[in-house]
Amino acid sequence: MTKILYATDYVDKKTTEIKEKIDSLKTVPELAIIRVGEDPGSLAYEKGINSTAKKLGIEVNSFVFDKDSKTEDLVKKIKELNEDKKIGGILVFRPLPENIDEDEIALAIDEDKDIDCMNPINMAKVYNGEVDGFIPLAPKASVELLKFYGYELKGADTVIINHSNVVGKPLAMILLKELATVTICHIGTEDLKKHTQNADIVFTAMGKAEFLDENYFNENSTVIDIGTSKNKEGKYRGDLDEESVNGKIKAFSPVPKGIGSITNLLLLENVIKNKN
C-alpha cells in the first residue's frame, strides 16, 4: 500500500491556526503585491493568493507596473510600503523583466516584511541555519508536510532533485538543520537512479511531468513532489509518474493537492508573522 500524502488535512489545520492568530490581532496586517507586466504565471499566482487571502481575512493590495518601468520606480514604491504600518508583507513577483535590477529590489525590501525571502539578509539567515524566520515557501511546505505526517528527518538519507536558489539550496539548508543527510542532484548528475534508489526521501522539482517512474525508487521510498508542468495531454502534473509508483513505493505527495496547495497559505501566514 502506497500512502498518498495529501495536503488537505494540513491545510485545514494551518488555516484554523492562522485564523485564530488573526482573531487575536488588534489590526490585521495587509499584503502588498508588486507585479510588473501581465505574465500569465504571475496572474494565476496572484489569483490564487487573492482567493486564499479572502478566506483568511487578509487584505491584498496589488501594485501593477508596466513592463518598461525602471528599478527606481519599484524601489520607491517598496520604500513607501516599508514605511506603511498597515502593510505586513511585500511580495514582488519574479521573474522580473531584464531592465529591472532584481538584486536592488531584493535589498530594498525591509527584512521584516520580506515574506518571500528575497533580501540577502534573510537568505543569509537561512544558510546560517536560522530557519525560523522568512524562508523560501516550497522548501518550508515540503518539510512541514512531512512533519505533519510524522516523519523523522534526523539521520534520513534525502535526495533533492533541483539546485536552484529558491528550491534546492534552501531546502538543503532546512534538511541539514534537521540533521538529515542531503544529496543534491541536478542536470549535471550522471546517474540519478543510483541516488534516488538509495534514498529514504526524495524531493523533486524538475518540472518534467510524470518523468520519475517506479524504476527510480524502492519500496521504502517517500517522494515529495514539488514539480508542476504540463504533461502530454496538457494537464498540470508533478514530476512523479503517480500511476507507475502507486503500490511500489512507501508514500508520495500528489500533484495537485500536495505542496502547491500549501505555499500560498505559508506566504499569507508570513504577513501576520511576529505581529501583535
Residues marked as binding for NADP(+)?
162-164, 187, 228
**Number of C-alpha atoms within 13 angstroms, CB side, residue 77?**
20
DSSP H helical ranges for the chain: 8-23, 40-56, 71-83, 102-108, 120-127, 137-148, 168-177, 192-197, 242-245, 260-271
Closest alpha carbon to 117 in 143, 145, 92, 144: 92
Instruction: Please give the size of the binding site for a copy of itself, defined by CB under 8 A.
Output: 33
Distance in Å, CB of 69 to a copy of itself, minimum: 24
Q: In angstroms, how far is the first alpha carbon of the chain from the final one?
A: 45
Sheet of strand 87-92: strand arrangement: 60-65, 30-36, 87-92
Q: Can you tell me the distance from the alpha carbon of 162 to that of 228, in angstroms, rounded to the nearest whole number?
A: 13
Mark residues 126-145: x for contact with a copy of itself by CB under 8 A, - for none.
-xxx----------------
Please state whether the peptide bond connecting residue 95 to the residue before it is cis, i.e. omega within 30 degrees of 0.
yes
Which span sits near a copy of itself by CB under 8 A: 9-17, 21-29, 51-59, 153-161? 153-161
124 makes contact with a copy of itself (CB under 8 A): yes
152 makes contact with a copy of itself (CB under 8 A): no
182 makes contact with a copy of itself (CB under 8 A): yes
120 makes contact with a copy of itself (CB under 8 A): yes
Amino acid at 260: G
Task: Kindly tell me which residue out of 47, 186, 193, 235 binds a copy of itself, with binding defined by CB under 8 A.
Answer: 186
Q: Can you tell me the distance from the alpha carbon of 221 to that of 46, in angstroms, rounded to the nearest whole number?
A: 34
Q: Which is nearer to a copy of itself, 28 or 176 (CB)?
A: 176
- Cell numbers linked to 72: 527606481
195 makes contact with a copy of itself (CB under 8 A): yes
Distance in Å, CB of 126 to a copy of itself, minimum: 8
163 makes contact with a copy of itself (CB under 8 A): yes
Distance in Å, CB of 117 to a copy of itself, minimum: 11
Amino acid at 127: Y
Task: Kindly tell me which residue out of 185, 226, 262, 265 binds a copy of itself, with binding defined by CB under 8 A.
Answer: 185
47 makes contact with a copy of itself (CB under 8 A): no
Q: Interface residues with a copy of itself (CB under 8 A)?
A: 120-121, 123-125, 127-129, 154-155, 157, 163, 165, 169, 172-173, 176, 179-191, 194-195, 198
